[in-house]
């Protein structure tokens, strides 16, 4: 694994775990602190399911899916063109998945705290790992659209 990808992934994992731990220390479960009225608040939540708490009773499936996702990302990162965007994309995605997976394995749920209301829709609460995963996946989609997912091995 590229050292830069590992460094980015490790940094995301540490930042996410520290932020979740700080929320755990200073907030009770479901406690909310408004930051921007009717838009953004910090709310401590525990999610045993996936996005929007789907399949809440099937936490073990999300552990298996997380492990599979990490294995697949490691496999695919060697076939992508080596550039800064792809390095960041794999680092963000791997770090985010690893951090949420650590929560699931050690706690039985994922700790969430970023709570947005957008156009009167109370968006599901999420965490920094989720942000990293979404940004990383978007960057990987851009790489695939640009054809950077298939390195020409004959040029090596």
Within 10 Å of residue 65's Cβ, how many Cβ atoms? 15
Q: 24 an active-site residue?
A: no
The model carries a pTM of 0.90
3-state secondary structure of 28: coil
Kindly give the residue spans of alpha helices, DSSP state H, lying in 27-83: 59-77
Q: What is the pLDDT of residues 64-75, one digit of tens each?
A: 999 999 999 999
Given 112, 115, 122, 152, which residue is catalytic?
112
The percent of residues above 90 in pLDDT, for the chain, comes to: 78
Q: Are 111 and 44 in contact (CB under 8 A)?
A: yes
- Residues 77-87: pLDDT tens digits? 988 999 999 99
Active site residue 112: yes
Residues 16, 103, 115, 130: which is the catalytic one?
130
Closest CA to 23 of 42, 49, 37: 42
Chain length of the chain: 156
């Amino acid at each position: 694994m590229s050292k830069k990808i590992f460094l980015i992934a490790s940094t995301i994992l540490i930042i996410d775990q520290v932020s979740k731990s700080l929320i755990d220390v200073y907030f009770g479960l479901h406690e909310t602190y408004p930051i921007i009225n009717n838009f953004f608040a910090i709310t401590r939540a525990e999610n045993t399911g996936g996005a929007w708490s789907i399949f809440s009773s099937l936490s073990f499936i999300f552990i298996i899916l997380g492990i599979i996702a990490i294995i697949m990302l490691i496999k695919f990162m060697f076939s992508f063109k080596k550039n800064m965007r792809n390095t960041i994309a794999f680092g963000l995605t791997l770090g985010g998945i690893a951090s949420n997976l650590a929560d699931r394995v050690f706690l039985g749920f994922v700790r969430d705290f970023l709570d947005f209301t957008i156009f009167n829709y109370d968006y599901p609460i999420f965490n920094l790992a989720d942000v990293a995963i979404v940004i990383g996946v978007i960057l990987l989609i851009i790489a695939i659209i640009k054809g950077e997912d298939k390195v020409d091995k004959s040029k090596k």
